[in-house]
Each structure stands twice: as C-alpha cells, then as structure tokens.
C-alpha cells in the first residue's frame, strides 16, 4: 500500500542522514515517536557509530534498488534488537528496521542448507522432479506449512505444478487459479523484487509521517522495501484461505515473471533477514536452472526433430521437390508431436494426417501471410494453441486444428508449412470460480475484492490445443533454414542448367539452319545431274531409267525435308512481335492459304462464335492455324469434311483455342509422337505425303508464346487440337 509499512518494523526515509519520514509506530520499536524523530539526525536512532556505518554504506555499496543488511541495532528494555537494511531509490535513502531472529535458539547453518539445495537442483533431470525439489528445499529452509511452485500460463492464469506440505494438509498440486488472483500491477512488482514477506496478514498497516515526501509531495516508492504494507485485497485473500503468514519468491526467466514460490503458514511467523536472504538465493538459482532443466528434458525430443528434418530435406533434394515431405517416409508428422501437416508448394497443397480442406487452407494461408509474425526477419513463425482466438473462421475446423504452427518458406511464391493439433477438451481444476470478480465500495470508491470461495471448480476449455513448446518452434525455424538452403542451391543449379540449355539451343538452331541451307547446294547438283542422265538414257535402258527416276524422287523428298528443317530453325531464331491481334482476321487469312486443298473435297468450315483479340505475334499465330487446318484437311477420308474453329475461356490458362475435325483420328498412344519432328504415323506417300514437321512447328510457335498445345482424338471419329497463347484477352 502506498505510504504504509507493516506493523512489525519501522521505515525511515532519510536525506543526508536527516530523518524526513518515519512510520507512525516508531515509538513501539525505537522508543521515540515521529514528532521526536522528524528533522533529526539518524544518529538519534543509531548513535554516532551507527551513523558512520550508514554513511559508509551509502558511499561505497551498490544499494540502488538493492536493500543490504548494514548492522543490528542492540535491543533496549522491552524491545527486540533490530536488523537494519538500507537501500536507495531514485536518490532517496530508505532505512528499514525489523526485529532480528530470536537468539533463544542457535540459527541453522544456512550455507549448508543452501549448498544442499543447489546441489539437488543441479541434479534434476526432469521438470516435475525439479519443481518438487525446489518446493522441498524451500520448506526445509523456512519450516513453513506449505510451499508451492506456481507457474503462470500464457493468459496469466496460474497453476500449482510443485508442492511440499504438512502431511495433514489437503493437496493443491494441479489446481489452477484465475489471472485476477494476481493482478497485473502485482505481477509487475514481482518482476522487480525477489522476496515478499507478510509475517502477519491480520496485522494493521502503519502510515508514514508525513504521508507524502515533503520534497516531492509524492508517496514514497516502497517497491523494494521488505516492510512495504500489503494491500487489503491481498491480506483478505490470504485470510479467506485461512493463511496467517506468507512468503513469496519470484521466479524470473529471461527477464519475465515465469512464476513464483509461494509459502503459506497458518500461524503468524517472523521471516528474519537471514531466512529471506537464503530463500532469495534459492529463488535466483532456481530461476537460472529452470531453463537448463527444460533444455535437458527436451534434448531427446530436439535431437529426434533434427534427425527427422535432416532426412526430410535429404529426400526433398533427391526428389527435386518438397512433396516427399508429406508422402514419403519419414514425413512432417514423424518428427513433430502433431496430428496433421500441410505444405503449400508448386501452386498446390500437399497434406498428411488430419488437416482442413484445401479451400480452408487457402483462406488460412491468406490470413497468415498478412500477420506481423511472418514479416519478421529473425523469427518468421506463428504459433497458437487456440486459433479461434485470433482467427474466428478457424471454428469450422477447430476439432482437428485448434493448435497451429505456421512457417513461411518464401515470400514471393507464398510457400508455407503448417502443423496442426486437435482440440483438447481439457478439464481444468480451478481453485475457486475463475469468473467470480466481486467489487466492494470503500471510502475511496469501488475496489476489487478477493474471492471468498476456494472450492474446486471445473471448467472445460474448448477450442484449445496443447501449447507448442519452444523446442518445437526452434526446430521448425531450423527446418526453414535447411529448406531455404536447398531452394537456393537448386536455384543456382537451375540457373546453370538454363544457361547451358540456352547455349545448346542456340547452337542447335544455328547448326540446323546452316546444315539445311548448305545442303541445298549439293542437292541441287545431284538433282541436275540425275535429270541430265535421265534425259540421255535410251528407252532400252529400262532398269537405269527406273533408278534415275527413283533418285529424282528422293532428291525432291530430301529437298522438302531440308525446307522443313530450315523453316523449323528459322522459327526458333525469330523474335516475336507482340501486338493486339484480332484472331478472326488471322483465321480468315489462314483459310485463304489452304483454299486450294479445300477445293479438292467439299469441306464445311464452322466458326460458332467470333474469336477474341489477344496480344500475340500475328504471323506466327497465322502459321499455327495454317498447319492445324492443313492437317485437318489432309487426314480426312470422308466424302464430306467438317472443321470447327472456336475458343473457350479458362480461369487458369486464359483463352483456349481449338481446331476440330471429323477425320481419321489418332490413337492415344501416338498423342506425343505426332509432335515430334519428321514423325509420320502413315506411309511416306499416304494422305498426300509430307515431311511430318507441321505439328512440331505448331508446338514450337505455341511455346514461344508461353502457351501449351494438346489434343483429344478418337480413331475413326476425328481429332481436336487445343492451344493457348499465354496472353490475356485485350479490351
């Protein structure tokens, strides 16, 4: 309480060793009342020698927010000897005087007790054992009725996880207490101090005289005073529990209040400085040791996770993809304590175990990538044991995914890995009703009052999974590093391969162009000499004439093949000229170019709907249609040929164009063969002959537009060739 001290001791605030404030009970302990002390030298209380020792302490010792024992003031008639503790806060010196330990019995060997406690704590291998050891050792130091290890959960409600008590007391191990039982202001104070004693919860508090600092006109900051008066709510809380005295020590891990060591006594009890000092040391060692025991317990789990993740990345490296992480052995679930996992890679989800649907995963991914956690450069990870708390849409799949651990792989392509834990209907044993928050109106307005009921209260916790451990979060962050190293390595390798492939393609195109062009000259010579020999041969030389006529046909065919090869190489070397093109005009031009073949057999050309305008190379797209129309006319033995030209919209691929005929069709096993250069499915002269390069050229032209070409066909019924141009529609 501001400006109040506990009744069993006296607080003095001094400036230049002059008393400026003193608690109102000074006469009971010092023999002099406030009116006799205020404005006087501290020597009035401690004599000249005591004043000298206090001055030396102020000048030499590190006492800022750190109370230190200075000396013991001898007792006077009817009053006990007093231990003097001194500290400064914001430049103000505060002196506390409290009764020393009773001299009737020899004090215990606190060094031996603390040494034993530290040895036992260092030997603990499991957290449960560690909690029990700490409770036992503090009870051995203090001799109190009950000692509990009280841990704060993420929502700041508390749980008793360790206990040592008198045999006749009911156990409280495993009980949970609402966060309001230790409000935030109290938790903030416990972050700054190690020990909080209340020897008699029923004793009144003593106000300082004057109540406010005469220099600052504010209440004295008594945060670090062992004699600081306890709040009415706290003392009523303890009285409702039947507790007469309490001693609380903070457990601080990584600068945060992890929990507390709570000691209860059912009769008023002194907590001398020596006892508090020993308990403070044990609390500090326990705070340091907590993380070590936690890491020791989780070592086996961490090693298992690392081994599994190393094997996962190895499999992904061999498979050149991340899909084996869900389909292979091991998979993402083998290392992690989870029931489902999913990875978004290659524009699709890969899942294992119990997971939400792909649509639900898409929505969750969209929400996650916008989270600030995913923007972190050092720890890009999101972990929750209650997804619904932050993401209400998660209620639809909370039974299988109340807990989520999410890890981004890359910001550009949206890669992500998710682990899921199901809803755990936890039966939490509350030490009283957690929803009871009574208010009381006092002289200064309403104030929060403590609960009066500590009967067991059971509450089912829905939409919550087991929390993720720090070892699991650290393991997935390391997995991310391994995956990113793999991705970078693959990207470097792909870059090298692309450079080699580009160079090889350029060299191949150049070779094809030179070869087909240069072979034309000797071929023309062969054809010329064969023609001359054929003209000079007599009719009697029948066999010679047949051979020369065959040579002429072969030169014509070879000339046709070289023309096709030359044209194919030119296609690869041409730079596209993209512009908005009306495909209706392109198709009209293509139909004119195949008009001669259309006249051979009656052919019906249908265009059910107008074609759109797209960004493309006009000349090359016209050649695509020419080749497809030429094939549709050529490979058709029906007396009435039918060809349909059309298109349809596709949300994924963009506009899809097609040329459909009622010709001879193609067997499925030949679907890939027809696109290969110089590959014909029929005899050399069947269906008017040809080089077999038309569809190869179509495939190359479509590829240059970043599109794809494929077909559907039924032998004897007809074929449909589809293609895309990888370009959006033009307005």
Confidence of residue 432 (pLDDT cuts 50, 70, 90): confident
Task: Write down how long the chain is.
Answer: 731
Joined together, the tokens standing for residue 538 give: 């007599």
Could you tell me which residue, 239 or 557, shows the higher pLDDT?
239
Task: Map out the domains of the chain with their CATH numbers.
Answer: 4-99 (3.30.450.20), 105-201+243-318 (3.30.450.40), 469-573 (1.10.287), 575-724 (3.30.565.10)
The 10 Å CB-count burial string (b at 16+, else e) for 566-588 is: bebbebbeeeeeeeebebeebbe
Confidence of residue 479 (pLDDT cuts 50, 70, 90): confident
The 10 Å CB-count burial string (b at 16+, else e) for 146-172 is: bbbbbbbeeeebbbbbbbbbeeeeeeb
**Mean pLDDT confidence for 521-527:** 67
How does the average pLDDT of the chain come out, rounded?
Answer: 84
Q: What is the pLDDT of residue 689?
A: 46
Burial class (CB in 10 A: 0-12, 13-18, 19+), 208: buried
Are 223 and 193 in contact, with CB atoms under 8 Å apart?
A: yes
β-strand partners of 246: 198, 264
> Which helix (DSSP H) or strand (DSSP E) does residue 718 occupy?
strand 718-724
Could you tell me which residues come within 8 angstroms of residue 541 by beta carbon, excluding any fewer than 6 positions away?
none
The C-alpha angle with vertex 692 and arms to 689 and 697, in degrees rounded to 5, equals: 135
**Mean pLDDT confidence for 342-350:** 87
Q: What is the pLDDT of residue 571?
A: 63
Q: Give residue-wise pLDDT tens across range 183-211.
A: 899 999 999 999 999 999 999 999 999 99
- Of 46-50, 465-469, 650-654, give the lowest mean pLDDT range: 650-654
Output Rg (C-alpha) for the chain, integer angstroms.
Answer: 45
Could you tell me which residue, 99 or 3, shows the higher pLDDT?
99
Is the per-residue pLDDT at 367 higher than 90? yes
Q: How far apart are CA 577 and CA 575, in angstroms?
A: 7
- Of 341-355, 674-688, 714-728, give the lowest mean pLDDT range: 674-688
β-strand partners of 408: 416
Confidence of residue 518 (pLDDT cuts 50, 70, 90): low
Q: Give residue-wise pLDDT tens across range 599-632.
A: 777 788 999 999 999 988 888 898 899 889 988 8
> Which helix (DSSP H) or strand (DSSP E) does residue 428 occupy?
strand 426-431
Confidence of residue 151 (pLDDT cuts 50, 70, 90): very high
Are 42 and 21 in contact, with CB atoms under 8 Å apart?
A: no
Q: What is the pLDDT of residue 451?
A: 66
> Which helix (DSSP H) or strand (DSSP E) does residue 416 occupy?
strand 415-421
Q: How far apart are CA 696 and CA 568, in angstroms?
A: 8
Beta strands across the sheet bearing 195-198: 195-198, 245-253, 256-265, 146-152, 158-165, 176-177, 426-431, 456-461
Is the per-residue pLDDT at 307 higher than 70? yes
Dihedral over Cα of 112, 115, 119, 121: its sign = positive
Q: What is the pLDDT of residue 627?
A: 87
**Mean pLDDT confidence for 479-499:** 66
Are 704 and 647 in contact, with CB atoms under 8 Å apart?
A: no
Could you tell me which residues come within 8 angstroms of residue 12 by beta carbon, excluding any fewer than 6 positions away?
19, 21, 22, 23, 26, 37, 42, 45, 94, 95, 96, 97
Q: How far apart are CA 96 and CA 106, in angstroms?
A: 24
CA atoms within 13 A on the CB side of 468: 27
Q: How far apart are CA 474 and CA 476, in angstroms?
A: 6
Q: What is the pLDDT of residue 135?
A: 97
Q: Give residue-wise pLDDT tens across range 444-453.
A: 555 556 666 6
Q: Give residue-wise pLDDT tens across range 208-235.
A: 999 988 878 888 899 999 999 998 889 9
Q: Give residue-wise pLDDT tens across range 9-48.
A: 999 999 999 999 999 999 999 999 999 999 999 999 999 9
- Please name which of 18, 13, 55 lies closest in space to residue 26, comparing C-alpha atoms: 13
Are 401 and 355 in contact, with CB atoms under 8 Å apart?
A: yes
Give me the percent of the chain exceeding a pLDDT of 90.
45
Q: How far apart are CA 645 and CA 715, in angstroms?
A: 20
Confidence of residue 8 (pLDDT cuts 50, 70, 90): very high
**Mean pLDDT confidence for 463-483:** 87
Could you tell me which residue, 724 or 317, shows the higher pLDDT?
724
Give me the percent of the chain exceeding a pLDDT of 70.
83
Is the per-residue pLDDT at 660 higher than 60? yes
- Of 220-224, 426-430, 646-650, 659-663, give the lowest mean pLDDT range: 426-430
**Mean pLDDT confidence for 362-374:** 91
Q: 210 preceded by cis ω (within 30°)?
A: yes
The C-alpha angle with vertex 42 and arms to 37 and 47, in degrees rounded to 5, equals: 110
Are 422 and 339 in contact, with CB atoms under 8 Å apart?
A: yes
Q: How far apart are CA 315 and CA 327, in angstroms?
A: 11
Q: How far apart are CA 466 and CA 403, in angstroms?
A: 7
Q: How far apart are CA 484 and CA 218, in angstroms?
A: 57
Is the per-residue pLDDT at 698 higher than 80? yes
**Mean pLDDT confidence for 72-101:** 90
The 10 Å CB-count burial string (b at 16+, else e) for 113-142 is: ebeebbebbeebeebebbbbbbbbbbbbbb
Are 208 and 4 in contact, with CB atoms under 8 Å apart?
A: yes
Q: What is the pLDDT of residue 336?
A: 86
Query: CA–CA distance from 491 to each of 343, 462, 577 (Å)?
Result: 19, 45, 30
Are 261 and 249 in contact, with CB atoms under 8 Å apart?
A: yes
Q: What is the pLDDT of residue 731?
A: 53
- Of 253-262, 450-459, 652-661, give the lowest mean pLDDT range: 450-459
Is the per-residue pLDDT at 93 higher than 80? yes
């Amino acid at each position: 309480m501001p400006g109040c001290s506990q009744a069993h001791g006296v607080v003095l605030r001094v400036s230049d060793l002059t008393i400026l404030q003193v608690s109102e009970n000074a006469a009971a302990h010092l023999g002099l009342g406030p009116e006799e002390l205020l404005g006087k030298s501290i020597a009035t209380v401690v004599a000249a020698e005591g004043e000298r020792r206090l001055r030396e302490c102020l000048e030499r010792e590190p006492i800022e927010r750190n109370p230190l024992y200075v000396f013991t003031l001898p007792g006077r008639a009817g009053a006990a000897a007093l231990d003097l503790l001194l500290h400064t806060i914001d430049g103000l010196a505060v002196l506390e005087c409290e009764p020393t330990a009773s001299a009737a019995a020899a004090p215990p060997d606190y060094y031996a007790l603390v040494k034993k406690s530290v040895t036992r704590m260092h030997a603990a291998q499991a957290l449960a054992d560690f909690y029990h050891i700490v409770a036992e050792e503090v009870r051995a130091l203090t001799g109190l009725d009950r000692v509990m290890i009280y841990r704060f959960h993420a929502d700041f409600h508390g749980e008793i996880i360790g206990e040592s008590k008198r045999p006749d007391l009911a156990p409280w191990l495993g009980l949970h207490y609402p966060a309001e039982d230790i409000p935030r202001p109290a938790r903030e104070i416990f972050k700054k101090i190690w020990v909080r004693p209340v020897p008699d919860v029923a004793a009144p508090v003593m106000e300082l005289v004057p109540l406010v600092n005469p220099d600052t006109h504010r209440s004295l900051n008594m945060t670090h005073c062992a004699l600081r008066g306890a709040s009415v709510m706290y003392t009523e809380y303890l009285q409702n529990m039947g507790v007469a005295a309490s001693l609380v020590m903070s457990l601080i891990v990584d600068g945060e209040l992890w929990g507390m060591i709570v000691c209860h006594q059912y009769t008023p009890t002194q907590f001398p400085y020596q006892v508090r000092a020993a308990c403070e040391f044990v609390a500090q060692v326990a705070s340091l040791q907590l993380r070590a025991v936690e890491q020791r317990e989780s070592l086996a789990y961490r090693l298992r996770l690392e081994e599994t993740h190393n094997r996962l990345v190895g499999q992904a490296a061999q498979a050149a993809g991340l899909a084996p992480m869900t389909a292979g052995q091991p998979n993402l679930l083998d290392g992690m304590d989870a029931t489902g996992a999913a990875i978004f890679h290659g524009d699709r989800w890969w899942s294992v175990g119990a997971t939400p649907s792909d649509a639900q995963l898409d929505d969750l991914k969209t929400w996650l990538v916008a989270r600030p956690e995913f923007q972190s450069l050092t720890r890009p990870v999101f972990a929750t044991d209650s997804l619904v708390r932050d993401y209400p849409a998660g209620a639809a799949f909370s039974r299988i995914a109340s807990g989520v651990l999410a890890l981004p792989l890359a910001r550009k392509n949206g890669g992500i890995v998710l682990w899921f834990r199901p809803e755990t209907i936890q039966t939490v044993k509350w030490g009283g009703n957690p929803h009871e928050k009574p208010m009381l109106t006092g002289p200064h307005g309403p104030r929060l009052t403590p609960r009066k009921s500590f009967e067991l209260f059971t509450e089912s916790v829905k939409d919550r999974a087991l929390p993720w451990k720090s070892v699991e979060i650290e393991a997935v962050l390391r997995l991310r590093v391994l995956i990113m190293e793999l991705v970078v390595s693959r990207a470097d390798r792909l870059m090298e391969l692309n450079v080699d492939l580009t160079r090889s393609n350029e060299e191949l195109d150049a070779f094809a162009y030179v070869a087909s062009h240069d072979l034309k000259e000797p071929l023309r010579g062969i054809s010329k000499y064969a023609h001359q020999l054929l003209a000079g041969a007599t009719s009697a030389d029948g066999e010679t004439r047949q051979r020369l006529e065959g040579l002429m046909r072969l030169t014509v065919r070879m000339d046709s093949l070289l023309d096709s090869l030359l044209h194919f190489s030119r296609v690869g070397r041409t730079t596209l000229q993209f512009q908005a093109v009306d495909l209706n005009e392109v198709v009209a031009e293509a139909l004119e170019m195949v008009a001669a073949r259309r006249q051979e057999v009656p052919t019906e050309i249908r265009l059910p709907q107008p074609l759109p305008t797209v960004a493309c190379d006009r000349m090359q797209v016209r050649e695509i249609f020419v080749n497809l129309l030429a094939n549709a006319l050529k490979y058709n033995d029906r007396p009435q040929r039918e060809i349909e030209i059309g298109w349809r919209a596709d949300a994924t691929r963009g506009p899809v164009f097609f040329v459909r005929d009622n010709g001879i069709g193609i067997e499925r096993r030949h679907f890939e063969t027809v696109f290969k250069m110089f590959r014909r499915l029929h005899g050399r002269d069947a269906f008017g002959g040809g080089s077999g390069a038309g569809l190869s050229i179509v495939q190359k032209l479509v590829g240059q537009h970043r599109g794809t070409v494929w077909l559907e066909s039924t032998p004897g019924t007809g074929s449909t060739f589809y293609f895309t141009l990888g370009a959006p529609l033009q307005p």
